[in-house]
Structures are given as C-alpha cells and as structure tokens.
Amino acid sequence: MLLLHLIVLSIYIIIVVVCMVDVLMENRQPVKTMAWLMVLTFAPILGMVLYFFFGQNTRKKRLISQRSIDQLDKHSMLGFVEQRHLHIPETYRTLIQLFTNQSLALPFKDNEVDIYTSGYDFFPALLADISAAQHHIHLDVYIFEDDALGRLVADALIHKALQGVEVRLIYDDVGCWQVPSSFFEHLREAGIDVHAFMPVKFPAFTSKVNYRNHRKLCVIDGTTAFIGGMNIARRYVQGRRNRPWRDTHLRIRGGAVYAVQRAFLLDWYFVDRTLITHRKYYPPITTAQNNCLAQVVTSSPIALWPDIMQGYVRILLEARHYVYIETPYFLPTEPILFAMRTAAIAGVDIKLMVPRKSDAKLVEWASTSYLREALEAGITICLYEDGFNHSKLLVCDDMLCTCGSTNVDFRSFENNFESNIFFYDRDMALRFKQIFITDLEHCTLIENVADLPHRNFGQRLWESVVRLLSPLL
C-alpha cells in the first residue's frame, strides 16, 4: 500500500514539474509566468486543471500547414494583383502593411457596403441573398439556435441544397452546446455539408474548450458576403429578457468578398481537411470601380501574433483627433488599456460605449474596475441604456473604421478565432460615426470617476476579485 502511495505521489510530482517547465519554456511575460508557477506550487491540483484547460499557449502550434495556406491564398492574391488604380492611403500604410505581413490580409477596393443595425434589417437581407444563390452558400457562425429564426434560416438553406446549390456550414461546438444534435443532423440529411468547429466531447475534453470560433461570416456565390456581430438566433430580432438587442452587421459586394471567402475556406480546411481552391469560388468582380478600400483581418490563438489586437493598439496610438468604440464587453488586455490611456492622456477624444447592463453578470462586475481605470485617464464612458448593445465597431478620425466579431476583451483578442473588416475610406468612416452618434442618444455619459455609482468596500473588493478571472470570461 505504501508503495502504491509513493508511485501515485511520484507521478503527481512529475506532472506538476512538467507543467512548471512548460510554463517556463513558453517565455511569457514574467508576471504571467510567476502567477502560473505560484498557482501550481500552492494549489497544484486546481492549478493543473486550470492550466490544462485555460493556460496552454497555442500560438506556437501550427495546425494548418503553410503549403495549404499558400494554396488557399493564390486566388485572393490573383484578385489583389488584378486590381487597377489601387491607392493605399499614406496615413494608414503601415497599418495595412502590418495586417498584410502577418496574415496576408490583402486590401481590396471597389466595395459596396450595406450596414444593418438591427436584426429586423439584417435577416431579411440574408434570406433574400440565400434565396437568390445559384452556385454556393458558405456560412460560418458561432451560434445557430434551434428557434423560430434558426429554423427559418435552416429551411432556406435546405431549399437551396435540394436545388443543387453547394451549402457548407460551420458552427461552433461550444456556442451551440444547447442546440440538439438532431437540428444539425436534419441539415446533413438534406445534403448540407455541416461541421462543428473543434468539437468538445468527453472523454476527449481538452484545452480546446477555451479556443472557440467566434466569427460570423457568410459568402454567397463568391459575389456577396456578410460579416459582423450577429449570430443566427431569435434574440437578435426580438431581444432577450424584455430588452431590445442592438447589433451591427455588414453586407459586402466587391473586392473584399475575396477576403471573406478566403477566411471561410481556411476555416473549412481546419474542420474538414479539404482544400477548396477552384477559381469558380472567386468570380470576377462586377461592382463599379470606387475607392472604398477594405481589409478582412482574422485572428486566432494559433496565429503567431494577435493581429486584430495589434491593429487596435496601432490605431489608438496613431489617432490624432478621436477614437469611438462600441463593445458589449470591456475586459481589455494590458496593451489595449495602455494604448487607450496613452491616447486619452495625449488629448485624443476616446469614447467607449458599453451596455449599462450586460447579459453576463460576472462580466459586468469584472469590467467595472477597468471602467474606473479608463475614466481616470480621461476616457469618456458611454453607458448604453436602450437594451443590450452587442455591436462591435470602431471609428477613428473620419478616415478609418472597423466592424466584426471582435470584442474588447481577453477572449476575443487572445483565445477566439475572430474576423473584422477594416475600411480606409472617409465615406464609410462617416457612416460608422453617424451610427455611433445615434447610439449616443441612448446613452448616459460618464466623464469622471465621481460620477460612477458609489460602491462600498465589499463591492469593490468583489469586483477586483472577479477581475482576476477576466481572461477566462
């Protein structure tokens, strides 16, 4: 019996030591390294569980071969090269080059954009384009609910599949945990090619539970694309818990559709291990020539660098007049918070819009301490009062704007697979700015820490404790 105990203890010690060595060898920031070592030392069982599920660094793991990426890139590269009279604005040349160098996020001109600020506008447009599809429909969503709206979209996809249209669907396994498997099986039986992104099932329950595909993409016939913050669920139309739901989604026609298609096909290769590279998925651009320049930027925990976060940092530090941001969750990484503080102290007008009440109480508690820190630096906090604002957008200096799936939080910047479209165009920036100004009409502005609701010591202590969980929320 004593021998058995010694064997178990030895194995236990070896596992803890291996975890510690792994933490050290990843060469993270010293503060993060020390935190993990302390947890593994003083709470080894809990520490090992947390590290196994949430602490492993995936950025050095190449889950998609470079050769496959090159194959998927060739048509978007060809489309980029074929562009005539492509003008790169000097002000944002380095930002554009940053995205291009890191993940071959190529800039495309000749874009026509429709902006939807409610599900009442977005879903009829999506259903109309699905109905008009002739060749293929590619859909990539985080949530696809088995509710009235979800079944309506599912029926539209099934109808097109029965007509011979190629329909491919990627849904996130964790985002759709509550959706019965029979819902997706029904789609498969109708001829739709359906895949769950990183399925998390016992007994193979691993750290991948923490790395989710949060993108919301749709490409129809290679000529029309949708990108933004809306999933497929009734709450995006009717709201939730008697609260309206505000969101932003875009319909794109033009060169940027090539980039959205590339993003989808990379995800498709990830889930299906099938390379789809035929030119028919990249038909000739038919929109009129214009100077609406756009980049579709993706980020993921398996990329070498956090592309979108780095882009946000650069935008904030190079802004001259203003940066307006809408995000449903504000749990910023240290580089983002540093950049926001630096810009605000330098005199840039930084306005941050967040919902008065979040749909997740823990997130609301955790974000309070960050809001206090932002106020101390001179950032204006805009508390959205008219329901829940799930919109994710940024506009800067009447020249640059972005919208997509990325929240200003740890999970989006470091753990999730995300996608945003960046526009370098004055007209688009002014349209985004007007959306922000309209949303301001439903906000309470807080410019000083003293204007925050008073919290006693116990409340502030609890908020600080919950803040420690920010990377996991």
So which residues are the catalytic ones?
Answer: 214, 216, 221, 390, 392, 397
What stretch of H or E contains 353? strand 349-355
DSSP assignment of 200-264 equals --TTS--GGGG--B---EEEETTTEEEEES--BSTHHHH-BTTB-EE--EEEEESTHHHHHHHHH
Asked if 149 contacts 234 with a C-beta cutoff of 8 angstroms, the reply is yes
Angle at 270 between CA 265 and CA 275, to 5 degrees: 50
Asked if 76 contacts 106 with a C-beta cutoff of 8 angstroms, the reply is yes
Q: How far apart are CA 222 and CA 254, in angstroms?
A: 10
In 3D space, the residue among 329, 370, 371, 366 whose CA is nearest the CA of residue 459 turns out to be: 366
Place of tokens 């996130």: 172
The stretches of 82-180 forming alpha helices (DSSP H) are 93-103, 119-132, 148-162
Q: How far apart are CA 263 and CA 298, in angstroms?
A: 7
Provide the 10 A C-beta neighbour count for residue 239: 15
Q: How far apart are CA 397 and CA 426, in angstroms?
A: 9
Q: How far apart are CA 355 and CA 247, in angstroms?
A: 12
Distance of CA 14 to the CA centre of its chain: 37
Q: Which residues of 313-348 are buried (b: 16+ CB within 10 A; e: fewer)?
A: bbbbebbeebbbbbbbbbbbbebbbebbbebbeeeb
Sign of CA dihedral 254, 260, 266, 269: negative
Bridge partners (DSSP) of residue 402 are 394, 422
Q: Which residues of 154-175 are buried (b: 16+ CB within 10 A; e: fewer)?
A: bebbbebbeeebbbbbbbbbbb
